[in-house]
Amino acid sequence: MESSEEEDDFPSIESVTPQSKIDTIYQSKTEKGIRKLCFELLDLKDAVENLCGNTRTKYLAFLRLSEEVVETEHELNDLRKLISAQGILVHDLMSGVCRELDEWKQVIGDIQETEQNHENSEFEDPLPNKADDHKRIFLENVDVLLAERKVEEALEALDAEEKGHPELKGSGDTSSTEPSSYKSAFLKRKAMVEDQLIEITEQPLVGILELKKALSGLLKLGKSALANQLLLKSHRSRLKKNIEAFLPCCPSYPETYSATLSNLVFSAISLTSKDSSLVFGDNPTYTNRVIQWAECEIESFVRLVKENAPPSETVYALRAACICVQASLSHCSALESQGLKLSKLLLVLLQPYIDEVMELNFRRARRQVLDFAETDESLPLSPRFASPLSIFATSSDNFLINYGKRFIFIIKEIVEQLTPLVILHFGVNILTRISQIFDKYVDSLIKALPSQSEDDNLTDLKEALPFRVETDSEQLALLGIAYTIADESLPMVVSRIWNALNESEEAGSGIGDNIIATSSSTIELKDWKRELQHAVEKLREHFCQQYVVSFIYHGDAYTRLAAQIYLTGEGEVWDSDPLPSLPFQALFGKLHQLATVAGDVLPGKEKIQKTLLARLTLTVVMWLSDDQEFWGALEDQSASLQAPGLRQLILDMHFTVEIARYANYPSRQILQVASSIIARAIRTFSARGIDPQSALPADEWFAETAKTAINKLLQGASGSDTSDIDEEHLMMMHDGGHMIMNDGVHILMNDENVSDSDASPSSLSTFGSHESFVSAEMGELDECF
């Protein structure tokens, strides 16, 4: 029972396919399909690889074919050019052969005509004619010589025949036709000889001897004008070929290319002139033609120099232009012995080019002078030029010295390019340009100085500079550099210019004399130096003005120079050694300080020191003389004028003059201006009822008092007893004010640090004059302004 139930629940195994069989059947089919698909894919891959390989191979083959096609095209072009050249050659040969055949036909026709005439004459006159035989043989011989290109022998034969038969020269009427036919044949041979001679001269490689022989032959034929024309044409052709061969080399020789061109051109002119003299003699007509030809070649030469020159603003262009002038004028000088005077024409043609190069080079120099960013410490400047400036080193910052050296280097670089003949003709212009550049250099130094103004709030409108000179030592170093460049360095740089000009004046002959005669103006060394001094004086004036303005307007209230000093005269104790007013004591202190610093900064430059200090002092008194506000306050009717004020003003003026005398620097102009100030002050005080005769001591008293004041101020600095000095002048106290020692001078000033305060009283020179203020003779003092 149990087994039957199991059979009912599970069907018979025979009617169900086993899973293993199913997997076997379908798995085998799938694998076969996949394998078949893989084989097909592999076949497809091989086909694709074969296709790619074939494509790459075909592409490479295509590239090779393309290259072969291009090469074939080039070869075809070369063949076309060769065929064209051969065609031209064949055409020329055919033309030449045809021309020769035509000439031979004409000759044969002439011979036949001659023979026919001879037969006719024999028929008419059976007796032989020896003259006709001679003519026939002569013409045949000439034809043979012409065919063999023996032009000289043919020419000699024609010349001999012409001398033997004078009728061949003339052109008169003849009664018979026989001489006329022979003459016609003779003239044809003569024309053929002329053509061959012309052909010889026009050959590109004809030698000088062959050329001269051909020209001589043309002269024998009576063609002198044609011979001269062919001579000039031949030399021009030779010169053109030489120049064309050299022009590609010009960029390789930017400085000397012009000299080579000059040699080529002027050598050709010289050779042409000599050949013309040998062939044509001293015939003025042909000499003038050579001159005209030479002038045309010189114009072409100048044009070539300009076209192949380096950029005009470079030193190379300046050097090339100078070498061109030197070489060309030297050649012109040599050509004058041959009767060719070409110097003036050459200078007229070169003048615009030289002026352009000079102008652009000096513009470049001005830009370099004003370009502060390019200052280089390693300039190749010899010690001869660098040493005079090196003594002005004031600190580790040597910008001023390097700037001065760079200026000298720039000018020296230009001067070194000049040749003697350029100096002789353009030297004056060059010196003028150099002085102008120095003036620009001085302007740049002026901008470096402090700019003082009465209104401290004004904005400085000057362009920004990479350096400023603030301290006294820096400003004095700046002045010393400018003076040294003007007096020493710059004259040394341009000495070769002056030497060349002086040598030419002493020689007084030759090419130098001719060139100097063409110069529009001359200049003396002292006049040129005076121009430099004017520029330096401009710098000095600016320094003095800003220094004095600082002293007058920007000092302490008690040391500020104003008319109020002389309006409050009560209480002055003149019996106890009066002193100059505080502003002039401060002036003495500043001058003493500046003299001490100058002794350290400007060693060995005593003249510069004295001139500068004198100018500073003069600037103060000139300002006082011209200040309308100062005199307006004194001349105001409401002002209280007292005799002590007049005495103080006169003492201050005496004190100023004695400062100049004590320091032993020029004081004549200071004396003049101080005298005018005293005279005006006396007139002003006299107009207010003050009697100068009774109010003022003697002149000697003012002079001695001023000298004593100088000694007391110096003694106070050295620690001597100063108790007898008027305390009203030296001990006036104000907010924070006190007595200080300002560079060795016992004087009341602001409590401020003064630069370069390591001076000593000994820096001033010894007392040099004991004359009184009034009795000083004007002519005994030197003028240095």
154 located within any domain = no
Q: What is the CATH number of the domain that holds 323?
A: 1.20.58
| Per-residue model confidence (pLDDT) at position 729 | 35
Claim to verify: residue 649 and residue 750 sit in the same structural domain: yes
Residues 385/489, Cβ–Cβ less than 8 Å: yes
Claim to verify: residue 692 and residue 714 sit in the same structural domain: yes
224 located within any domain = no
Domain boundary pick from 510, 537, 564: 537
Claim to verify: residue 573 and residue 632 sit in the same structural domain: yes
Claim to verify: residue 577 and residue 480 sit in the same structural domain: no
Q: Identity (one letter) of the amino acid at 644?
A: P
Claim to verify: residue 289 and residue 392 sit in the same structural domain: no
| Per-residue model confidence (pLDDT) at position 129 | 58
178 located within any domain = no
Domain boundary pick from 537, 571, 590: 537
Give the separation between CA 248 and CA 252, rounded to whole angstroms: 8
Claim to verify: residue 386 and residue 449 sit in the same structural domain: yes
Tell whether the model's pLDDT for residue 130 goes beyond 90: no
191 located within any domain = no
194 located within any domain = no
Vertex 86 angle, CA 84 and 92, to 5°: 105
Q: Identity (one letter) of the amino acid at 468?
A: R
pLDDT: which is higher, 648 or 785: 648
| Per-residue model confidence (pLDDT) at position 212 | 72
- How many CA within 13 A on the CB side of residue 421? 23
pLDDT tier for residue 757 given thresholds of 50, 70 and 90: very low
Give the separation between CA 421 and CA 719, rounded to whole angstroms: 67
Q: Minimal CA–CA distance to 503: which of 511, 325, 413, 431? A: 511
423 located within any domain = yes
Claim to verify: residue 751 and residue 702 sit in the same structural domain: yes
Give the separation between CA 158 and CA 145, rounded to whole angstroms: 11
Tell whether the model's pLDDT for residue 278 goes beyond 90: no
50: containing domain: 1-96
152 located within any domain = no
Q: What is the mean pLDDT of residues 622-637?
A: 88
Claim to verify: residue 357 and residue 390 sit in the same structural domain: no
DSSP state of 581: -
Tell whether the model's pLDDT for residue 550 goes beyond 90: no
Residues 258/316, Cβ–Cβ less than 8 Å: no
Claim to verify: residue 763 and residue 652 sit in the same structural domain: yes
| Per-residue model confidence (pLDDT) at position 610 | 86
772 located within any domain = yes
Claim to verify: residue 394 and residue 513 sit in the same structural domain: yes
Domain boundary pick from 503, 537, 571: 537
Claim to verify: residue 320 and residue 385 sit in the same structural domain: no
pLDDT tens digits, one per residue of 501-549: 877 776 654 444 444 444 444 667 788 888 899 999 999 999 888 888 8
Claim to verify: residue 684 and residue 625 sit in the same structural domain: yes
Give the separation between CA 51 and CA 426, rounded to whole angstroms: 84
In total, how many domains does the chain have?
A: 4
